[in-house]
Structure 1
């Protein structure tokens, strides 16, 4: 499967760097060519000579190498490969990637590449659990970076927990998966995400607490399975993922128009938290308080029901997935909603304040289908997205 594939292997500075040598050997045995790049810290653990000998290729180390850079070497290196692999991906390298830093050869290659990137994190368990690392990981996954591991076990420092770099054979399997077309290759999936903002006047609006994180993660997961993704997002807190077609909207009316323009599609995932109502006559200038303290009078109109419109429309996708954010009787309300809207599945969750789900990093959902209700355990939104994307791929197979 890897015959003829070119892997740019960036080796970070951690004790797990020794595994990169075995990874190089296994990749070459599978038919791939490997070009190693060592960070300065990596040279404290493995030598350029050993990396070069196992790869049978020149090792690159210095951003300011006169010979290489005369030919814009960092640009050529970053784009000649089929896949860029970072193993081990240290906390420092992950932080540079998430922050867009480019102050050495490895980080510059990662900024300059137009190819997919796969990282294999490796670090102390406390570093892996640190909030900064978790933020950086979420950013990288949102940018489309693939992640394998880390595994759980005993560390070189004597501590036990998640943080060990995945075994070389597991990384090879992840590389093979990344270079395959994926089960959704050739499929078009439409995803809506984020809240809508319904204006009251030029500075005020009606909205909700949706961050857009779950919809963004779903779009990224579908992209990673090979789908062509049309991503229609309201003003979310999180940036849209790389590698998808993004349409930004503000209101429910704009979102419906964007959805209809994106059809036809093989599947539609309607994760946006669309406002149910809008102000019928939004003020064209900022509304002021009067001296008497009279409260303004607002009249409302119902917004278009995007999920029902698509589910019952002439360009209905083969699979339509809706979302139900509920605060009580979650399964009952979601089951009724699926029948009322005419969609195939409903992903339901409890967004009452005590759960911390709306706007948070985790989710606990119940998948409602014609076959009944299926409770999923609470997990990261990226994990929910991956599981849902896999189910969509199965349904469209």
Structure 2
């Protein structure tokens, strides 16, 4: 049995596929995968949340498009291992998840990472965490068709309790940055806006293509190579106003990640609040990935005294995080509830996000 967490991205959105910087942490909410080898070459998948029966397919017949729905993620994970030359055979996999689905909390990355860990363990493989992350990413990119970067898989696999994971996506250098809001009398209030979070469609891919196009025009490998003090010149070299907005978000977001990390290293946690809010404004106005439910939650939390608030995840729905004084958390939540009722939105859900351990084998313990 293996457990893999969901994740919150504290700051650094849409920077991972631009070779930039990200700062996620793992949630206490986990997905659990129970697995056993089969001798007949059959992959048998079942989820306690799917409401349906088992999905069965011979591993030899796995190819993109062969499996759809939730089962495409674990099927793609086995396929990616086999494509990498690993002799992975049949397997039973039963999944149970406490990670809210459709909320932008990386339930899909938890599922792919848990499956890769399980299949590797059962078949005597010993990939390092980066190989697991790359394999899980390939499952989403090439089997499912979601062109995600490495942020989610890295957070799921590498996070530690009481820390945020500072990742340089280019070098893969990591730093476990101290991040313990409760010790400072703070709470990361997370609002599940209940606005559906759907990224497999064209909107995410369209933004990635815009970034790749801009990098080619600017003559740089990735937008990470555009320095903050060179942003004005870069924008002047681009004709398309939409592409200019996309570039402005990525360059300024990378700068915000670096500033946030510097503040956390210095123990100045409260001072990251304005950076979170600025990140949201950039995602709303320049990257255009917000929706009315998200903006309403951010504005209500800020009006009730939050130090900062932003959309988290890829956007187009999902969750909002608000950094609040712990004694103001319920007041902020009530302000969001009131604003939702006034807008006739479905009632939101809330939880407090605490940095938690990454993916791990839980039963039986390794010999």
TM-score > 0.5, shorter chain as reference: no
Q: Which has the higher helix share?
A: 2
- Tell which structure's C-alpha radius of gyration is larger: 1
Higher normalized contact order (CA 8 Å, seq sep 6+, divided by chain length): 2
Normalising to structure 2: TM-score of the pair?
0.27
